[in-house]
Amino acid sequence: MTVTNESNLTPLPLLQLSSGFSSFKTFAAAVELSLFTRLADGRTMSVSEAAAEFGLPHRPADLLLTACASLGLLERRGDGYGNTALAEKFLVEGRPYYFGGLVRFYDKREYPAWDRVLDALRTDKPTAWDPEVQDSPFVAEDSQMLQLFWDAMHCISTFTARALGEVYDFGRHSRLLDVGGGSGAFPIELCRHYAHLSATVYDLPHVCPIADSKIADAGLSGRITTVTGDFLRDAALPAGYDVILYSMIMHDWGEDTDRELLRRAYEALAPGGVVIISELMLNADRTGPAEAALMGMNMLIETTAGKNYSETEYMNWLQDAKFSDIRTLPFVAAGANGVVIGVKD
């Protein structure tokens, strides 16, 4: 039992929660101005130079550079500011792991939707899109927003795939099917790590060209292919694979849909085949971690039935779908905190 001394309590944690938006909006403004791209390759910029280059008055330019330095995105160099190593690697446009797409996606789409989170709580309906008009949030209605989304997911998924490849040995597998694989980040990273592995991205017709482009850029067109389809509507998953991956897919849908996806995976796999669920998973008593719980809240504004589930729930669903040798492998990554694995006898 934890004993709390109330005399030591202060509202500081509440203030930090309350002011979180200021960090994000400062970050988003800097990305929108291409500040970190302008400072690439060791360039340093003074406040006066920043004001002139970005067409800002001196005071706002000073405040922006100071704030970005306080957030660990810029560092002071003499009379000016330059990128930190973090910003140089992830916030310069055109770099392989550019993270700015996620920042812009959150700023342009998620942030306005979160402003209406109370509506989502009261109605159990998404606020980022209108289910009366669209079938799902993944339709190709806004090409610019779609590109931002997949650029963002590619960066997150690349490093999540790298973490997965370090804790799970794909050496026993030869053919991977990435269901709803988006831009192909998982197959690209895993095929780079495992030279014998081939893979297929199975996704919607307007998504596969994005994956084809990323796969070609990676020089892996001979080993990674795409197959168009709709895993919600197709009667069966493509067959002939010995490992099926659901990465950041299950949290988009309700329990019935997820159970059906696991059933289809079981049917598509040959005996000995493996299904892998990669997600930000809640703990058993549903008190965290915060990353998983808040992603669940994001599913409230983004989906009609999605939520983040616990490791225990996934294990139970796999057992009900007749998988055996069910186990979990934890890791630390932006897109997942571990995987749950099941084997078809």
Active centre residues (catalytic)? 251
The Cα–Cα gap between 15 and 4 comes to 20
Alpha carbon separation from 121 to 64, 254, 294 (Å, rounded): 34, 16, 14
Alpha carbon separation from 175 to 178, 191, 229, 241, 269 (Å, rounded): 10, 10, 18, 5, 11
Alpha carbon separation from 317 to 252, 255, 288, 335 (Å, rounded): 16, 9, 20, 21
Helix residue spans in 124-172 (DSSP H): 143-167
The Cα–Cα gap between 321 and 345 comes to 12
State the sign of the Cα–Cα–Cα–Cα dihedral 261, 148, 87, 212: positive
* The token pair that represents 235 in the structure block: 């009667």
The Cα–Cα gap between 76 and 91 comes to 17
Number of residues in the chain: 345
Q: Which of 238, 257, 247 is nearest to 159 (CA)?
A: 247
Provide the CA 302 distance to its chain's centre, in angstroms.
Answer: 14
The Cα–Cα gap between 107 and 265 comes to 35
- Where do the DSSP E strands lie in 180-337? 198-203, 224-228, 243-247, 274-279, 324-330
One DSSP character per residue, 196-214 reads T-EEEEEE-TTTHHHHHHH
